[in-house]
Amino acid sequence: MVAETVVPAGPGTGSPGPVVVPERGRVAWWKRLPVVHQLRQSVGLQRGMLVAGLVITGIFLLTAALAPVLAPYGYSQLRSADGPFGAQQPPSAEHLLGTTVGGYDVLSRVIWGAQTALLVIVVAILASIVLGVLLGLVSGYFGGWADRLLVVLCDAIYAFPSLLLAILMAIVISGGQSSMWGGILAAALSITVVFVPQYFRVTRAEVVRIKGEAFVDSARVLGTPHRRIMFRHVLRNSTRTLPLIVTLNASEAILTLAGLGFLGFGIEPTAAAEWGYDLNKAVSDVTSGIWWTALFPGLAIVLVVLGITLVGESLNDLADPRLRSRRAAAEVSGEVAETSVVPGGTLTAGPGGLDTIEGAGSRSDELAAAPARPDPDAVGLDGRAPGAADDDPRDGAPHDETEDRR
């Protein structure tokens, strides 16, 4: 990729001296994948946190995928060949983590719960990305009164306590309770409503900025239809902050799902296992000293959120040059290309790359001064997909957006 785009560093990139694009620079493609790249870039504690997060997240994904194999019983199973399980049984050989007040096996429900959580995360995030990005793109690109209205609306929703919003949506979508897929969809869509404004804001801000760039103007002069400009030129350059928000939202989705379940707006125990529901049922157990029904589903939530947050947090820090731990000088010298603020050479550095060079000052002013990034399609050099480098979430911008939300 680097080889195809060897263009001398632009005059305004502000990089001190020539950026070294070493000849050995053709880094294997897998080393440039979003998470792998950061993993290689990280050092010390940050690497430890990232690895820990990846391991926990991996275990979570495996558990979710292999739930039918791993779980000793079904999530709604009340009896085995030997008769009913019995309620509130302490941990034993048959029931490693005991049974709940409803007579379910705790271990099985914890394992099946991973599957529910994963499904909800996937549906919620997919739905909010599609909706939020599309709205942000159209709204930011065309502007006008509809844009203003959407911005005010999203700001209002953004300020609203997200759990309350999710509760309201759960009432509308499912009337509170429902089947497995109905419940999962209801929970996921309730969470979606909370997330859409975030994706909307981030995408819109990027779109508004990018549509002022010269390559968009030139595409317009060439008579490119709006739809093509929007999706080909603007959208692909606006998505680089999204992976970061996705990881942070994934953990928030689990917490919201658990909150909904805890308040009784989750998924029926016969439809699927859900940790928040189990914790709700465990409230009275705790008062009488029964600890296993509350401890294990709760720990499952904590671990999964912890894992995903560690990943998101590390990516966030690595994207922010002020927070990134630096290697010792001796180590750096060998690997300039990887640790450089301009990853993989000059051209692939999007506006984010420039931004990180310039530091964390006011981005808009500097970007206005910096030369527009040449868009291959607009200038007829259709060498590579313009969006390829844009998955790289190295940018200080999303930091504020996401940090504030906590």
Q: What residues between 25 and 64 interact with other proteins by CB under 8 A?
A: 44-45, 49
Minimum distance from residue 98 beta carbon to other proteins (Å): 14
Q: Write out the E strands in 40-146.
A: 79-80, 83-84
State whether residue 84 is helix, strand or coil: strand
329 is a site residue for other proteins (CB under 8 A): no
Cα 346 to Cα 36, 342, 357, 359, distances in angstroms: 20, 6, 11, 17
| The residue type at 361 | G
Site for other proteins in 287-306 (CB under 8 A): 287-289, 291, 294-295, 298, 301-303, 305-306
Please give the size of the binding site for other proteins, defined by CB under 8 A: 71
In angstroms, the CA 104 to CA 278 distance is 10
The answer to the question of residue 111 lying near other proteins (CB under 8 A) is no
Identity of the residue, 7 or 168, whose beta carbon is nearer to other proteins in the bound complex: 168
Q: Which is nearer to other proteins, 148 or 228 (CB)?
A: 148
Q: Where in 252-271 is the site for other proteins (CB under 8 A)?
A: 255, 258-259, 262-265
CA-based R_g, the chain, Å: 24
Residues ≥6 apart with Cβ < 8 Å to 128: 191, 192, 195, 196, 198, 199, 249
Q: Residues 112 to 171: which contact other proteins by CB under 8 A? A: 148, 151-164, 167-169, 171
Q: How far apart are CA 343 and CA 349, in angstroms?
A: 6
Task: Please state, in angstroms and rounded to a whole number, the distance separating the CA atoms of residues 34 and 9.
Answer: 24
DSSP letters along 69-83, please? HH-SS-TT--EETTE
Q: Is residue 282 close enough to count as binding other proteins by CB under 8 A?
A: yes
A 10 A CB-CB count for 123 gives: 19
- Which residue, 211 or 232, has its beta carbon nearer to other proteins? 211
Q: Is 65 an interacting residue with respect to other proteins (CB under 8 A)? A: no
Window of 68-76, 92-100, 199-207, 335-343 that interacts with other proteins by CB under 8 A? 199-207
Query: How far apart, in whole angstroms, are the C-alpha atoms of residue 143 and residue 166?
Result: 29
User: Is 246 among the residues that bind other proteins (CB under 8 A)?
Assistant: no
Q: Closest separation between CB of residue 40 and other proteins, Å?
A: 19
Q: Which is nearer to other proteins, 313 or 358 (CB)?
A: 313
The one-letter code for the residue type at 351 is: P
CB of residue 58 to other proteins, shortest distance in Å: 17
Report the residue number, 1 or 279, with the smaller CB distance to other proteins.
Answer: 279
Considering the complex, what minimum distance in angstroms separates the CB of residue 24 from other proteins?
30
17: left (phi over 0), alpha (psi -120 to 50) or beta: left
Residue type, 39: L
Q: Which is nearer to other proteins, 28 or 330 (CB)?
A: 330
For other proteins, the closer CB: 73 or 141? 141
Q: Which residue has the tokens 């790289």?
A: 392
Residue in 80, 92, 270, 364 binding other proteins, rule: CB under 8 A: 364
- Element spanning 3, H or E: none
Helix (H, G, I), strand (E, B) or coil at 334: helix
Of 27, 10, 20, nearest to 389 by C-alpha is 27
Measuring CA to CA, how many Å separate 237 from each of 11, 293, 378?
21, 48, 13
CB of 32 to other proteins, least distance (A): 26
Q: Which stretch binds other proteins (CB under 8 A): 84-92, 119-127, 201-209, 339-347?
A: 201-209
* 322 lines the binding site for other proteins (CB under 8 A): yes
Q: How far is the CB of 376 from other proteins (least distance, A)?
A: 24
Interface with other proteins, residue 405, by CB under 8 A:
yes
Q: Which is nearer to other proteins, 99 or 251 (CB)?
A: 251
Task: Please say which residue, 228 or 326, places its beta carbon nearer to other proteins.
Answer: 326
The answer to whether 139 and 85 have CB atoms below 8 angstroms apart is no
CB of 30 to other proteins, least distance (A): 28
Least gap, CB of 279 to other proteins (angstroms): 6
Minimum CB–partner distance for residue 151 and other proteins (Å): 5
Instruction: Answer yes or no: are the C-beta atoms of 64 and 265 closer than 8 Å.
Output: no
Run of H or E including 90: none
Environment class of residue 248 by beta-carbon count within 10 Å: exposed (0-12), middle (13-18) or buried (19+)? Answer: buried
- Shortest distance, CB of residue 135 to other proteins, whole angstroms? 13
